[in-house]
Every structure is written in structure tokens, then in C-alpha cells.
Amino acid sequence: MKFVIVKKIWVKSVLLATAGTVFPVVAHGQTSASVDDSADIIVTANRRAERLQDVPIAVNVLSTQALRSANVSDTQFLANLVPGLSITKTNSSQYFLRGIGTSSTTVNSEQSVAAYIDGVYVYTTYGSLSLANLERVEVLRGPQGTLFGRNTTGGVIQAVTRDPLAAPSLEGEIGYGNYRTVTGKFYGNVHLASNLGVSLAVDFRDQGRGYGFNRIANEATFFRDDVTARAKIAYEPTDNSTITAFFQYRHIKDSGINYIPIAGTRGLDGVDGSAYGRFDVRAEAKNAFRFDSYLGYLRVEQNVLDFARLTSITSYHDAQPLAHFDQDATPLNIVTAVQTLRYRNVSQEIQLASQGSTPLSWVVGAYYYNALATILPLDLTGSFTGAAGQLRYFRKQRSESIAGFWQLTYAFAPHSKITAGLRYTREEAKLPEGLYTLVGRDPNPMRLPFAADNQDSDGWTWRLALDHQFTGSIMGYVSWNRGLKSGGFTLSGATKLPGYSPESLDSYEGGLKMSFLNGRVRINPAAFLYKFRDIQYSVLTAGGSAITNAARATISGFDLDMGVKVSGRLELNSAFEYLHSRFDSFSNATFFIPVKAPGGGAVTLNNQNADGHSLPYAPKTSASFGFGYTAPLGGGDLRFDGTARYADDQFVGPSNLFVNPSYTLVSAGLGWTSGDRRLGVRLWADNLFDRNYSTQVFESAVGVFRIPGPPRTYGVTLSTKLF
């Protein structure tokens, strides 16, 4: 046994050393993207366009080619390209970056790793972002509490859409894969005038057959259909002003939550998980999920006296999830939930940012956010509800936030700069009078009201960084950042629970940005230490989750992202992360202890001590490797590319009793593009070796369950670019 453990550690060490040294690769996280020695990678991590190698922030940049090579068209699969990023998937997607994330599945609980489109905050707890037809994706590691102030204790995932005023383009692709999956993408932009551009982007997926089947409910399982349409208009009335309007519609339909007891534990029907197949669902009620969202923004930019640029960003987002799921996941009628939810928000941001190449650059602004999260209602049925037969919840939470911020960077010496930023946020969470109803055969069901409640909070977040250009190709930096995530109320539950407090995180980071051989080789290491306080911790309940605060945690680690353009034909990339996490103080944890007796399920133990335990979904090691090789063939280019991602064991709860086991996923593609770039064909495969892995393992009172990841998928894609 001792030899096996030593061997496992040795193998992981060799894999990481290989990923980190034998295969040096692209800029901080630019997986499978080309490293062009004549072009710089541009990011907007500081809300202005800057070279990646000049930004004193750990940023992963994923180009369109990177996403295409890994067959990633949605944020729910983004973890395949970004080490240290874990994404769990039930009806909702939860993002964990460097061990910081949100496990709650309540409609009013927003992500700790916030999503943005073109600088506009996007609610994604029950949805995801389409990553098709983009210019790039930026993943900012760590709290970004000054310029991206909305709930960014863990980091930011920002999608940057294409500019309608760029050169006109008309391109598209259509694909077909196993499980009768049809995919398509379209992008076109035209100039209606020299200063007026319009673009339209469409991305769709239709999976005709699921990976599994529920013979109890007689339905297909593990399938997903979605469509995203984006329209964008850019108008430049003068040389000094730009007006941009954007609208996005996103629709998702899938088979909902389909989970299976893990081996060695029993569901409430007493059947051990070892008796289940890989995609074997045995739920009595049908599972389904539907999500519709509408997002729009208006961005107005105007130069002010040639020294600054004034920007106004107004946005509206309406998200409407609907979920049906059998929470006990057995043939018994114990607890079934139907969630009818809605999340709406408006925001207004004003920025004034300096322009020009002066020693001092700055940005100052204000931000207003107003959101309404509603359960309309949550219906619970089954023996769990007792003689009434049905329990119905109506809940809502209104959140209002206002913030002011500034950030400046000053070059105090020829090769040294200091950055300082500060943000003050005032927030109010309101719980209007709510109620739940016991619904049975009685025509006058019992209605039990909850009194209104209110929670006010405020706080300062900041950024302080020092960077120095040691040589023309080596820049070093150190930084101290604080992030803050809003508090709120638990909306699901038969009893009114106290509100939960905001969580805060202090990040201490140091890193290098290094590029050599005219940018053909880039190496970007970073080390970090996190101090996490008032952690919002979620426990699954009937139809949702309850949130409380854990006291303190410490996370430390090391990132290394590298890339090299070996030649005009061959590109290599790799990245890895080492992470160490522990709860310093957590005396009110909830543990779930599986029942070994035939009755199954789990015993819930409250107020347990989790001091010294690892944080959930914080793998100790994770790594990725990718390559792209291009060769001339038949008057065009033949490209062979692939990616591999390794994730270590991940604890799934504060008890540290259960893990989501380690796994390695491999994707590959072989494609040909004509010399004029008008025609292309590509063969692709994901999970090439058909690895049996789980996107999530979770604990609850009804048992310990896994949600299996997709099996091997493969197909062909035809593409065209007319101009």
C-alpha cells in the first residue's frame, strides 16, 4: 500500500514536470493559440487595451483558435483549458478558481467567479456563456474588486465580442457528431456606412440522443440543446465618439439534474451505487431544465478635451430558469421539485479614463446595480411533504448596490510603476414578505407568511501593485488585492433562516511576465496567498440550498503558464497549478454520513468542526497541455491539434469524506483549410479515450451522488469564410 501511494505521487510529479518544462507553451493561459512574434496579445484586465505581458495580473487569454482546438464553445467546458478552474454542473454551473467559488443553487446566490461580456456583468448561476464567435476570452485570477467590483472574490471570466466596425466578414460552419448532434455557427458583419457597422452571430447545438436513459421515468438523459444569438451595432458619429448597442438571446434545454449514487453508498431505496451503470438513472419523476435569458447593453464613449474618455454603460438582463428534478434520484416518490425562477437586473456604470502615453494613467467611476431574484414558486411533492402532499414556496430578494471607484498607475521611475485602486460599495438586500403554502385536498390550503427582513452592508475593496521591467523581456510584479461578495438570504426552505454575511478575500501575489525570441516564447509564473473570511458555505436542502458563513480559510499556490512557437508550423503550450487549501476556522460545518443499512440516505450532522480540512473543489494539482501543427497540403493547410487536461482528486464537502476522483481528458482534431480560407473540413473528438469521470460529486441528506461527464464524442465540421 505504501508503495502504491509513493508511486502515485511520483507519477503526478513527473506529469507536472513534463507539462511545465518539457513542453513550454503560450502566454499566460493561451492554450492552443498561436504565438505570433509580430503581434501582441491584447487584454482589457484594467478596463483599457494593454499588452498581456505589461499587465501585472495573472490572466489567461484564450483565442478563438484555442477554443476551437479544444472544442470549447461554452463556459461549462472552460475548465478543460484553464488549470485551477473547476466547474460543477447540476441545473446550474458553479465556477471555482484557485479554490474560490460558489456551490449554492439558489437563484439569488451569484457567482464568486463573475462573468462579463464586453465589461458588462452577467448573471450565470443558472446559465452559462456561449463562447462561439468571440474575439477572445480572458480569465482573470484572484479578486478584481476595484474595476470589476461585482462579487469577484475568485476572479473574472470575460468574453470579448467582435467589433462590427472591423473588416466585413461572412463565415459559418455546420457539424454533425455522434448521439445525433448537429451544431452550427454563423458570423457576419457589414458596414452600412463608413462609420456604421452591424454584426450578427448565431451558435446552436441540437443533441438528438442522450448519453443515457431513465427506464423508470421512460426518458432520455444527459442531453443538451442550446442556441445563442447576438446582434451588435457600432456607430461613430464623430472621430471622438462611439455608440455601441448589443443584444443577446440565449436558450438552453437539457435533461436537467440526473445523478447517481456513488459506489459504496445507498440511495433512499437502499440500492448501492455500485449496482448502477455509468449513465444509469433510476429516478421516479422526469427531470428537465429550461433556461431563457435576454441581455442588452448600450455603451456610449466620448473623448473629453483630448485627455480622457468618458464611458457610459447601461445594461439589462432577464434570466428565466425552469427546473424539474427528482431530488432523491430513486424509483420511490420521496421528494420531487419544480423550480420556477426569474432573475432580473439593471446596471449603470460611468467611467472617466485617461488617454495618451503619460507617466500617470487613471480611471474613476461609479456603478449602480439593482436586481430582483424570485421563486415563482418552488413546488415540492412526495412523501417528504407529509399528509399535505405538496409544499409550495414563494420567495423574492431585491438587491440594490451603489459603488464609487478609482484606480491609477504611475511610472515613478523609468522602468517601475505603482498601481493603486480603491472601491467603496454600499449594498442593501431586502426580503419582502414571503410565504409558503401547504397544498393538499383542502380547498383552502394553509398559508404561512414570513415577515419582511432587510440586510445592509458596505465595504472597501482595493488593489495595490508594484511592477518593474527588469529587462525588455522580463517584468516582475507584486500585488495586494481585496475582493468582496454580497450577502443575502436563503430563499428555499420551510423555515426562515438568518441572512448570510458578505465574504471577503485578501490576495497577496507575486509573478513574472517573461517573453523571449521576439515573443515566440512566453513564460508567466505566479505565486499567491489567499486569506478568506466569512466564507459563504452552502448546504443542499429540499429544492435548493441554505447558505451560512464559515469563519476563515487559507489558500496558497503556484501557477505556471508557458508557450512557444517552435516554428512556423508547430506551436506548443502547457500550464499547471499547485494548490494548498485549508479551513482555519469552521466550527459550524455540516457533515453527511451515509447510512450503511438498507434504508440508505445520509445522516445530517450540524455544527461539526472542519478546522484543517481542505476546501471543496480545490484540486491540489491540475495541468494542461496543447499543441498545433500545420503543414501545406493540396493548395491549403492541414492542421493537427490536441489538448489534454489533468485534474487531481477534489474534496466535495468540508467533511473531506468524499472526493471527485482525478481524471485526464484528451481532445484532438484534424482539419484542412483551402489556401483562400474559403473552405474547411475538420474531424474532431472529445474525451478521446472515453474516460469515465464526474463533473460533480455532492453530499446531501438523501445520499452522496455523482453527475457523470460526457463520454467520447466525435464528429465532422464543415466551414466556410466567404470574405
Convert 372-435 into a string of H (helix), E (strand) and C (coil). EEEEEEEEEECHHHHHHCEEEEEEEEEEEEEEEEEEEEEEEECCEEEEEEEEEEEEEEEECCEE
Q: Mean pLDDT across the chain, nearest whole number? A: 88
d(CA 559, CA 577): 4
Q: Please return the burial class of 606, using the count of CB atoms within 10 Å of its CB with bins 0-12, 13-18 and 19+.
A: exposed
More confident site: 599 or 34: 599
pLDDT digits (tens, 9 = 90+) for 405-418: 999 999 999 999 99
- Read off the amino acid at residue 305: L
* Per-residue three-class SS string for 445-496: CEEEEECCEEEEEEEEEEEEEEEEEEECCEEEEEEEEEEEECCECCCCCCCC
Cis before 377 (ω within 30): yes
Q: Please return the burial class of 615, using the count of CB atoms within 10 Å of its CB with bins 0-12, 13-18 and 19+.
A: buried
What are the two backbone dihedrals, phi and then psi, of residue 144, each rounded to the nearest 5 degrees? -125, 55
pLDDT digits (tens, 9 = 90+) for 652-683: 999 999 999 999 999 999 999 999 999 999 99
Which has the closest alpha carbon to 230: 317, 319, 161, 283? 161
Mean pLDDT of 305-315: 93
What is the sign, positive or negative, of the torsion defined by CA atoms of 158, 162, 166, 167? Answer: positive
More confident site: 227 or 111: 227
pLDDT digits (tens, 9 = 90+) for 683-705: 999 999 999 999 999 898 899 99
Does 39 have pLDDT greater than 50? no
Q: Which of 49-53, 233-237, 298-302, 348-352 comes out lowest in average pLDDT? A: 49-53
Distance of CA 34 to the CA centre of its chain: 24
Per-residue buried b or exposed e for 185-197, using 16+ beta carbons within 10 Å of the residue's own CB: bbbbbeeeeeebb
d(CA 390, CA 288): 19
* Per-residue three-class SS string for 455-467: EEEEEEEEEEEEE
d(CA 312, CA 245): 12
Which has the closest alpha carbon to 26: 524, 474, 510? 524
- Domain spans of the chain, in order of start: 18-721
Non-local (6+) Cβ contacts of 411 within 8 A are 359, 360, 417
The pLDDT of residue 142 is 92
The pLDDT of residue 555 is 97
d(CA 30, CA 27): 5
Look at the block and give the residue holding cell 457523470.
Answer: 708
d(CA 52, CA 61): 8
The pLDDT of residue 11 is 35
Q: E-assigned strands of 542-612?
A: 544-565, 570-585, 589-594, 602-608
Mean pLDDT of 16-31: 33
The pLDDT of residue 441 is 55
What are the two backbone dihedrals, phi and then psi, of residue 73, each rounded to the nearest 5 degrees? -120, 10
d(CA 321, CA 318): 10
Give the DSSP H or E segment for 236. strand 224-238
Confidence of residue 243 (pLDDT cuts 50, 70, 90): very high
More confident site: 297 or 597: 297
d(CA 199, CA 216): 47
Which has the closest alpha carbon to 230: 348, 118, 81? 118
CATH of segment(s) 18-721 = 2.40.170.20
d(CA 545, CA 500): 13
The pLDDT of residue 129 is 86
Give the DSSP H or E segment for 66. helix 64-69
Does 34 have pLDDT greater than 60? no
- Strand 241-254 and strand 288-304: the pairing is antiparallel
- SS3 of residue 518 by DSSP: coil
Per DSSP, helices labelled H in 528-647 are none
Does 391 have pLDDT greater than 80? yes
